[in-house]
């Protein structure tokens, strides 16, 4: 459909564009209510030590069960929440629930697990964000060193020097910082050392080419030695095959997560997983 909008200009809105725009407006309205109505929940993907396949912690991943549209992927709603300024509410909620849940598991099973929570870089620019993070983690009763915040590589690049200060303050309290989706953000490698980072997570797009592409293997090898030289440990994201796992072991990568080990699990499934093992030393998949 073409609509004449004066002076000979036409705006073209296909039916598909119309329905996309409508869907978008609807989602914006719905996100505002979804947290209060508890339509969001967290799934937890195990993170493993690659050498011995022991679980060391979990990454908390948000899930939205929409009353009409069913399951909506975070890749869709996180971007919208960022654009309409609601990501603070969502990330704060995720941090709080993940910390409370980890505390429950630590006490119930007497294990020293850690939890990774994704955090949008736009939120780091909010005044009082350091105090807020410390307060939320502290209130849960967790030791702050069992909490890891994941910020994407492009997120780190967005944070100017003020942002780097915020990150340093967070880290000085014991909370760990991870650079997420590394390799996708086009950061110059020479700038990596200015950020206070404990862990580098290699993006899934590189892991999928491991073994089959010698170029990709060389890149992954380079990323791992770079991280180690900068005193960071490494998590490989999206491990799907045993071949990829073996290659990562050869390359000296410490940690991994991916469907080969386990998909993200509901909190009930994690409780089940943990209760199947008597002690962390046997907690393997």
238 binds ligand C2E (CB under 6 A): yes
Q: Which two tokens stand for residue 268?
A: 């009930």
Q: How far is CA 98 from the centre of its chain?
A: 12
CA distance 106 to 10: 61
Strand partners for 49: 255
153 binds ligand C2E (CB under 6 A): no
In 3D space, the residue among 248, 169, 172 whose CA is nearest the CA of residue 208 turns out to be 248
230 binds ligand C2E (CB under 6 A): no
Work out the burial of residue 131: count CB atoms within 10 Å of its CB; fewer than 13 is exposed, 13-18 middle, 19 or more buried.
exposed
Q: Are the CB atoms for 42 and 92 separated by under 8 Å?
A: no
**192-221 mask for ligand C2E (x: CB under 6 A)?**
------------x-----------------
101 binds ligand C2E (CB under 6 A): no
- Segment near ligand C2E (CB under 6 A); pick from 21-29, 46-54, 69-77, 139-147: 69-77
Residue from 48, 147, 149, 180 that binds ligand C2E (CB under 6 A)? 180
Strand partners for 235: 201, 255
235 binds ligand C2E (CB under 6 A): no
Residue from 61, 175, 192, 224 that binds ligand C2E (CB under 6 A)? 61
CB of 260 to ligand C2E, least distance (A): 6
Q: What are phi and psi of 228, to 5 degrees?
A: -65, -40
- Segment near ligand C2E (CB under 6 A); pick from 113-121, 126-134, 227-235, 270-278: 113-121
CA distance 233 to 22: 44
Strand partners for 61: 43
Pick the closer one to ligand C2E by CB: 181 or 254. Answer: 181
In 3D space, the residue among 115, 82, 113 whose CA is nearest the CA of residue 96 turns out to be 115
Residues that bind Mg ion (CB under 5 A): 118, 150, 180-181, 237
Residues that bind ligand C2E (CB under 6 A): 45, 61-62, 73-75, 78, 91, 94, 118-120, 150, 180-181, 204, 237-240, 257-259, 264
């Amino acid at each position: 459909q073409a609509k004449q909008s004066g002076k000979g200009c036409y705006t073209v809105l296909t039916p598909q564009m119309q329905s996309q725009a409508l869907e978008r407006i609807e989602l914006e309205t719905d996100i505002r209510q979804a947290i209060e109505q508890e339509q969001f929940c967290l799934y937890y993907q195990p993170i493993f030590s690659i050498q011995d396949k022991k679980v060391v912690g979990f990454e908390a991943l948000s899930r939205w069960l929409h009353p009409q549209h069913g399951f909506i992927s975070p890749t869709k709603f996180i971007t919208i929440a960022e654009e309409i300024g609601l990501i603070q509410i969502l990330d704060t909620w995720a941090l709080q629930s993940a910390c409370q849940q980890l505390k429950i598991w630590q006490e119930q099973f007497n294990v020293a697990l850690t939890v990774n929570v994704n955090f949008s870089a736009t939120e780091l620019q909010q005044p009082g964000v350091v105090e807020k993070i410390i307060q939320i983690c502290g209130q849960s009763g967790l030791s702050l060193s069992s909490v890891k915040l994941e910020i994407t590589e492009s997120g780190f690049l967005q944070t100017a020097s003020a942002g780097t200060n915020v990150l340093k303050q967070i880290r000085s309290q014991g909370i760990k910082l991870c650079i997420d989706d590394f390799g996708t953000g086009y950061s110059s490698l020479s700038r990596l050392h200015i950020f206070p980072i404990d862990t580098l997570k290699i993006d899934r797009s590189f892991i999928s080419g491991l073994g089959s592409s010698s170029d990709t293997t060389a890149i992954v090898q380079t990323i791992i030695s770079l991280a180690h030289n900068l005193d960071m440990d490494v998590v490989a994201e999206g491990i799907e095959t045993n071949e990829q796992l073996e290659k990562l072991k050869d390359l000296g990568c410490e940690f991994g997560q991916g469907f080969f080990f386990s998909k993200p699990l509901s909190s009930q499934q994690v409780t089940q997983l943990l209760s199947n093992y008597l002690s962390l030393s046997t907690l393997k998949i």
